[in-house]
Each structure stands twice: as structure tokens, then as C-alpha cells.
Amino acid sequence: MNQTVVALGMFDGVHKGHQALLRRAAEIAHANSDIAVAFTYDNHPRELFSGAFSYLCTKEQRDRLIRSAGCDRMDSVPFDAAFAAMEPEQFMDWLSARYAGGISAIVAGYDYRFGVKAKGDTALLDTLCAARGIALSVIDEVKVDGQTCSSTCIREAIREGDMERAERMLGRSYTLSGEVVHAKALGRKYRCPTANLDAGTLLLPRDGVYATELTFEGNRYDAVTNVGTNPTVGGRARTVETHAIGESLDLYGKHVEVTFFTRLRDEKKFDSKDLLFAQIKKDAETAKKVCEERKKSVYNSEPLC
């Protein structure tokens, strides 16, 4: 029976640092005809302790990205109070018993923590692995623009609207995924229909207007997206409204992805709806140019599916 090489981590966003770790696990596993598995949690531990948490990708996106990095599958479990109370030794015993055929190797990041109150580190992990005959590979930090690549840094970039910096760390453009829900439908009156995306628990970029790409059923459309409260029409809740440039798509109830390229301007309140939609048309022209330039570029992010 094949043994398992386990990659440990939350893998939120599956950024370049995560990708290096996952590739290493796949290399070790496949060199020995073992199975590479990314062990992770359904929910971030911070959600258990602090409440609401904004993610960088959905569980489905995470699974696809983990597989694209070379691992054979993702294995996830809920992070609950009982799991949080496990001593490091208990966690290792639990993990070792989880995989039929046993674990041949574990791959973890340099800053991996585990066990109750996160008191287990890579030094303790090394000791526990050695006692169980498991090889351990620790992956060093990956730097982008001289900065350690981390989910925290990516969140900061996205909250600032710096989608280019987030892209360099992720290795692809940041993408929101979810269902299109009903809104005020004002865009259709002005021949500028928008899809109002319910992004769930995903992290929204800083309020403003962005050049984006809308993906629906395998088709990709140049788009312009507004993130914010739509102050011109008296909005209060933050929304993500995307217009597929030159298209009139009926997307209500459909699952779509919106990929963010660059921030064009701040959101602002206009004196009338006519002025608002006149500006949206100008934004669409600018966004179209951005999208066209990206298509010509050597570096272009890959779609998530």
C-alpha cells in the first residue's frame, strides 16, 4: 500500500510560498510512488477564536489550486474546540493514524505552528517526526519584492487596492467567486447591466472601480467592477457590481468569477444617475484598454478553472 506525504498548512490563497511547499511535497511523494496530500482545515483557526474571517479563496478554489501545484488531493477537517485543545503529540498521533499505509514524510513551512495554543513549532515537529520514523522537510520563506510572501501581506495589499502587488505574491490575479444576486437593476435602464456578486466570506478589495475579467461557464469577458456602497443611489451595504463590457448577460442565480487587474479610481458620489452611468462608460473604456494590454503581455494570470 502506498504511503502518504503530507503537506501541512492552511493554504489560504495558495500563494507562491504555499506553492513551493506543495511542489516539494509532490516531488518527494512521486519520486517514491507515494501519494501527496495537503492536510488543512475547512475554516481558519482565527474564525474559531475571533469570529468572522475574510478568506483569499473559497474551499473549491483552494482545492483546485492545491492540485494544480502538484498534490494529488486536499484533505480538510473542521477546526473546532476539540481540535484546538490537542497537544502537539496528540495531533501527531491523530495525523499518523489518519492515512492508511502510514506517513513517509511531512512538509511544512518554516513558521508552521500546531497544537494547543500553537505551542508546537518546526523544532518540535522534527522531534515528533523522528520518533515516528517520518522524514521532515521544512520550506524556507519565499520573498516577493523583498518581502516575505504571506497571506497577511496579500490581505494588506488587497485592502489597499494594490492588486498588482497581491498578484505578484499570489502568482495570479486575485479572484472573487460566488453567485450573482438581485440588486436594483438600474444598469439595464442605461444599457450597462451589472452582475451583483455575493462573494460570501471572501476578502473584498478596497472600495473603488477596477479593471477586471468576468468568467462564466468557461467564457471570459473584459469587465469593469465597482466595489463599495454605491453612494449615488443611496446604497449602504458594500457590494461588488461587475459590467461585462459590450455584453448584456443575464447572470442572476449563476456562479461567476471576477478577476481583479488594477484599481482605476476611488468610488464617488455623483449628482445624478445620468452622470454616474456616463462615468461608468468612461471607466469601461479605460478597463477595456487595461484588459487588452494584459492579453498582449508576456505575464498573464491563469484562470482558476
What pLDDT score does 241 carry?
Answer: 93
Tell me the CB-side half-sphere exposure of residue 293, using CA atoms within 13 A: 10
Going by C-beta distance under 8 Å and a sequence separation of 6 or more, which residues neighbour residue 51?
A: none
List the domain boundaries for the chain: 4-141, 172-296
SS3 290: helix
Residue given cell 455575493 in the structure block: 198
Q: Could you tell me which CATH number the domain at 172-296 has?
A: 2.40.30.30
Beta bridge partners of 36: 5
End-to-end CA, the chain:
32
What pLDDT score does 188 carry?
Answer: 58
What pLDDT score does 304 carry?
Answer: 43
What pLDDT score does 303 carry?
Answer: 43
39 neighbors 22 (Cβ within 8 angstroms): no
What pLDDT score does 305 carry?
Answer: 37
pLDDT tens track for 71-107: 999 999 999 999 999 999 999 999 999 999 999 999 9
| Burial of 124 from C-beta contacts in 10 A (0-12 / 13-18 / 19+) | middle
- Report residues of the chain scoring pLDDT below 70: 183-191, 232-235, 298-305
The answer to whether the Cα torsion of 259, 261, 263, 268 is positive or negative is: negative
C-alpha cell at 248: 448584456
- Closest residue by Cα to residue 3 from 106, 78, 129: 106
- Closest residue by Cα to residue 137 from 288, 9, 235: 9
Tell me whether domains 4-141 and 172-296 share a fold. Answer: no
Q: How far apart are CA 89 and CA 78, in angstroms?
A: 19
Domain 4-141 indexed as CATH 3.90.10.10:
no
pLDDT tens track for 135-184: 999 999 999 999 999 999 999 999 999 999 999 999 999 999 999 997 66
| DSSP per residue, 166-208 | HHHHHTS--EEEEEEE----HHHHTT---EEEE-TTBPPPPSE
Going by C-beta distance under 8 Å and a sequence separation of 6 or more, which residues neighbour residue 234?
A: none
